[in-house]
Structure 1
Amino acid sequence: MKYQQLQMLFFSGTGNSFRVAVWLKELAIEDGMKAHIAPVEEIKKLQNIGKGLNLLIGIVFPTHAFTAPWHLLRALFQLPHGNQVPCFVIATRAGTKIGPFAFPGMEGTAAYLIALIFAIKGYSVCGVLGLDMPSNWLSLHWGLSQKNAEYISKRAKYRIVNIAERILSGKCYFSGFISLTLGLLLLPITLSYLVLGRFFIAKLFFASYRCTGCGVCAKNCPIGAIKMSGKAKPRP
């Protein structure tokens, strides 16, 4: 079965997941489908979902501590019943490249946890995968020059094109079982990190002197996590 409509939901902080949602929208339109993307905060607008619409729903979001972000989990509580409408899940993860070597990230339980929630809500899950995008934790993944980031993005888009060709035509695609297994083994670390990250680690991030202080990041952060600080030249 070939779908007629694609509804993409995204949750994105620095733009990786949003970029993937845009790629999928463009590929769907090229394939003759109607396509729309919306932030996950608009999830309530998914009303009157039914089989007769030939609708495919996708969601893309970043991995946090080898699982799905708290904000996304809270948003999905408002997800309307799916009536077995097909959906697919993409978790972006921190891909890196050091010298000639590219290293994959690990989404852990992120993708399959969200897929499970969709299944419980009555959707028919037809795709689950993790996708390497340029890491945004530059203090940890230091090998990310602009050239490396462009390399990782190019590889990601190539993979999305191949996967979209399969999913948009009505077929299924599942991957990431090794990552899921490792994620389950790392659950104690994940839970500890989520708490530490929320109350302590996040406080250690601040802008360097290269920041212009424009405030765009603070204005566009989907959960209001960024504050402008300083009298002479406020910076994030």
Structure 2
Amino acid sequence: MKDPRSDVIRVMLVDDMRGARTGFMMMLNNAPDIIVSCQAADGAQAIGYLRESPHQLPDVILMDVRMPVMDGIEATGIIKKEFPQIRILILTTYDEDDYAFDGLARGASGFLLKDATPRQLRDAVHAVYNGDAILTPRITGEVINRGVRTISDNARIKLLRGLFNSLSKREHEVAELVATGLSNQEISERMFIETASVRRTVSRVLAKMHMRDRVQIVIAWYQAGLDQMTNESATRFSTGNE
């Protein structure tokens, strides 16, 4: 007999404030396909639980930033190295929190403000579980500003462009839309294809380019200067020039 909860998204809450964990648990457990399966009061405790329960791993972790013993950013880096299949969503109090961007660099799938509505919280869990990154256009811009360094290494630029050029036409188009910060759902609507097809295409792009996540696609696209080439092409098209 099939386990009735086998399709439920298992979430771990990591926050040093018991009240915050309780609030998140109440919001998430109201969703029929989400359950809070475990909790931890700091990053070290979270890592300890995962190491001791390798057969009961959560699908998604909601990770606070500032905690005693071990903060959420350090914990995120360790967890993504040891348990790369787990998606991590950074929870922050401040929209401009530098720590949250450090979390993206360590492998988090995005970040969300702690005052998010129940709907926003549940949607974010669903999104990262399905392989999306929580990267709004504003956040994408910040990722570029903070994470992309102007590179003058022509060999590196040539390598990145070669990787993108090795993609199929559909893969290249999806990569470009990922680089603008669109979600799988938004890409599917833009390209008139199924969301599952977008998800599979993103996975192929990551595999071909030997990249960990969507954030790395964004950074590579901008480091390769492909955003400028896209803008120039759009300008030529709009002005009727070849």
TM-score (norm 1): 0.42
Greater share of helix: 2
Higher relative contact order (CA 8 A, sep 6+): 1
Tell me which protein shows more strand as a share of its residues: 1
Larger radius of gyration: 2
User: How does the TM-score come out when normalised to structure 2?
Assistant: 0.41
